[in-house]
Structure 1
Amino acid sequence: MSLLHEIAASGDIERLEDLLDQKNFNRDEKDDDWGGRTPLMWAVIGGHFRSVKILLEQEANPNLHNEEGKTAAHFAAESGRADILRLLIENGCDETVTDRHGSRPMDEALLYGNLQCAELLSQTMQGQINRRKRPSDWLDHFNDNKSDAGIKHLKKQRSMFLSTTYREHEERKRRRSGGSKQKR
């Protein structure tokens, strides 16, 4: 775990700002000791709203995932931090991304009984939350960092979400019509 990870996890705003002002720290660096978590993930896990805000202002990417496939939004939804989750959403996190077990942030919120987070995610999926950035804005960020793996990951997640949504839609439509149409 780097110094930036430790400071983000501690919530020490002054030291975080000083460190980020030095410009020689990778705000998106994944730790080697704790499953590839970024400083943003550590700030979210610690529940440090101001640290999360500072990291996002410094262009920390909310769509990076750890070794389990979890993003900062997964951690916010799991811990019930709707204030932090809203901040992530407003700054372009992809609320549809699934971890390697197939769980989305919505699944984490519901699993842990964090209904405020679940409601926020539902509103987001319905387009009711204003965003300063969209998840697709981060594709340029990946291009700037020459991360083909990151672009492929986002495209795969978006594709999986759209195909799942389509299958769910078709299944609901079939059930509403009384199941008269058989699956092909």
Structure 2
Amino acid sequence: MLLDLLKLHLCEACSMTELHEAVALGDYDLVAEILRTGRCDPNHKDVDWHDRTPLHWAAAKGRSELVKLLVDHGAQHCLRSDVGWTPAHFAAESGRLGVLRTLHSLHAAMDAADLFGDTPKRLAEIYGHQDCSRFLETAEVESRSYRRTAAMKGIPLDQRDEDWEVKKEELERNPPYSRENHTSSAQKKKGKKRGKQ
């Protein structure tokens, strides 16, 4: 037990963990082994990569099978990056319809807004992923309905990232730039991509 705690502590001391790397590479067997042995926390945020968790990487890379595996081993689909992106945001940006369907089936919040007010549906629209946008139009409504039903029945949901909420409040009190000059993070990224073409 003490050895397991030490391994977990060492894993958390680094930024990008072995689990992050295995997920980014899409190595299902290695991810399964890491999770089975408990070598890394599936909810560890990589500060060098803007607080991405392994689940964010799986979503961005379009790896639905890894999304399921991670969630089965305790990965929380509510955790957010430094600007408030959930795994659904990363999937929508990359046009990963299969991952969006998987996240929705796992009752992830499909309508969460990031720090700038962008939802996964908005990102899908910005990046021209029409199939994702159409899916998210329905998924957003179903997600809100599921939350209401769960609240009425007293079912606890994995919908809130406490660490991010604290960061968000701090950023709102001390913004690094003016809101009037703000362009959403997705619009900035898309503009950069257009400039490279």
User: Normalising by structure 1, what TM-score?
Assistant: 0.70
**Cα displacement (A) at 1:91:** 0.9
**Cα displacement (A) at 1:126:** 3.3
Deviations along 1:59-109, one digit per CA (max 9) or x if unpaired, are: 311111010111100011111111000101111211121111110001001
Greater Cα shift, 87-96 or 104-113? 87-96
Give percent identity, aligned residues only: 32
Deviations along 1:94-152, one digit per CA (max 9) or x if unpaired, are: 11211111100010011111111111111123339x98xx795115xx7xxxx7x2596
Taking the aligned partners of 1:119 and 1:47, their CA distance within structure 2 comes to 18
Partner of 2:60: 45
1:44–1:125 CA distance, 2 compared to 1 (3 A): closer
Partner of 2:112: 97
| AA partner of residue 121 (structure 2) | M
Partner of 2:9: none
Q: Name structure 2 gaps, 5 residues minimum.
A: 1-15, 170-197
1:39–1:92 CA distance, 2 compared to 1 (3 A): same
User: Normalising by structure 2, what TM-score?
Assistant: 0.66
Partner of 2:25: 10
Equivalent of 1:67, from 82, 92, 96? 82
User: Does structure 2 retain, via aligned residues, the 8 Å contact 1:76–1:85?
Assistant: yes
Equivalent of 2:127, from 112, 115, 124? 112
Taking the aligned partners of 1:136 and 1:152, their CA distance within structure 2 comes to 18
- Quote the RMSD (CA, aligned, Å): 2.7
State the aligned residue count.
Answer: 145
User: Does structure 2 retain, via aligned residues, the 8 Å contact 1:10–1:43?
Assistant: no
Equivalent of 2:157, from 131, 137, 140? 137
Q: Name structure 1 gaps, 5 residues minimum.
A: 157-184
